Amino acid sequence: MAKSSRQDILEAARRALARARRVSVLTGAGVSAESGIPTFRDRGGIWEKFDPQQVATPDAFARDPAFVWEWYALRMRAVQEARPNPAHYAIAELERLKPEFWLVTQNIDNLHRLAGSRRMTELHGNLWRTRCLACGKVEELTEVPQALPPRCAGCGGLRRPDVVWFGEMLDPRHIAEAERACDADLFLIVGTSGEVWPAAGFAHQAKAAGAQLVEINPQPGSLSQLADFPLVGKAGEVLPRLLQGLAGPGQK
C-alpha cells in the first residue's frame, strides 16, 4: 500500500479535529522556536551552552543564588522582546472553537498567555513569577529584577524563580489538571522532544485513554511512534493549516 502523503495525513487530522469535542494540547519549546526563543535539545539549543545542573536545580540555587538568577535574568531579557507566533495564536483560537479544551505547556515564556490562551496549565511554572523561600509569597514580575538575587518586599526573604527545576516535583494540582486533559477525543503534541517526564507521560496517558494523537514537529522524536497523525513541519506553519475551515460550536 502506498504511504499516505503529508497532505492526506493533514486532511485526516483536520477531519479528526472537526469531529473532536474534547481537545487537549501539550506544547514544548518548539512552539516558541519561531518566536526566536531557542529550544533546549536541538542543535545550538540551551542545554548545549549551559549545564542544567549548574543553573536549573535546587542545589545550584542553594550554592549560588545570584549566579542562577543571572541566568534567569538572561532568559527573561531574551523572551522579553519575543512575541507569540501563528502557532500560539492557532492554539488560542482552538480554545475558542472547542467547548472542552485544555492546554498543557512545558514552556515558562508566557507566550501562550500573550496570545490569549486561558484554559491552560503551566506545568513547569512561569519565568515572570517569583516565590519567596521564607514566606512562600508568589509575586508577578513586569520587568527583569534590578538587584540580584531579589528579596521579598514583605519579609525580606530570598525570592526564587517560580519554575520547576530538575529533581523537583511538579505541583500536584498541575498534575491533576494535566491528567484531566488526557481524557480527550484529540490530543495534540506540539514542539516537544518528549524527553522530560512526567510531561511526556501525558501523551502516553491520553493515548491509553482512547484519544487520537496528532504530533506537530519538524523532527521525529520519542513520542512520534504514538501519533495517529504525524504532521512533519514547523508549528507556526502546520497549526494554522490544520485549523483552516474549522467551525466553532454550533456552526456548520
Nearer to ligand OAD, 149 or 221 (CB): 221
25 binds ligand OAD (CB under 6 A): no
Query: In a 10 Å sphere around its CB, with 0-12 CB exposed, 13-18 middle and 19+ buried, how is residue 173 labelled?
Result: exposed
What nine digits make up the cell of 191?
514542539
CB of 3 to ligand OAD, least distance (A): 21
Strand order in the sheet with 125-132: 138-140, 125-132, 159-163
Nearest residue by C-beta to ligand OAD? 30
Span 60-119, contacts to ligand OAD by CB under 6 A: 106
230 binds ligand OAD (CB under 6 A): no
Nearer to ligand OAD, 29 or 226 (CB): 29
Q: How many Å is the Cα radius of gyration of the chain?
A: 19
217 binds ligand OAD (CB under 6 A): yes
Nearer to ligand OAD, 40 or 152 (CB): 40
24 binds ligand OAD (CB under 6 A): no
Please identify every residue annotated as catalytic.
124
66-75, Cβ contacts within 8 angstroms, sequence gap of 24 or more: 66/148, 66/149, 68/149, 68/161, 69/145, 69/148, 69/149, 69/150, 69/161, 70/148, 72/127, 72/161, 72/163, 73/144, 73/145, 73/148, 75/127
Number of residues that bind ligand OAD (CB under 6 A): 26
Contacting ligand OAD (CB under 6 A), which of 86, 150, 161, 221? 221
Query: Cell 490562551 appears where?
Result: 117
| Binding letters toward ligand OAD, positions 233-252, x by CB under 6 A | -xx-----------------
Q: What is the three-class DSSP state of 90?
A: helix
Span 140-199, contacts to ligand OAD by CB under 6 A: 164, 191-193, 195-196
Binding site for ligand OAD (CB under 6 A): 28-30, 33-34, 39-42, 45, 56, 106, 124, 164, 191-193, 195-196, 216-219, 221, 234-235
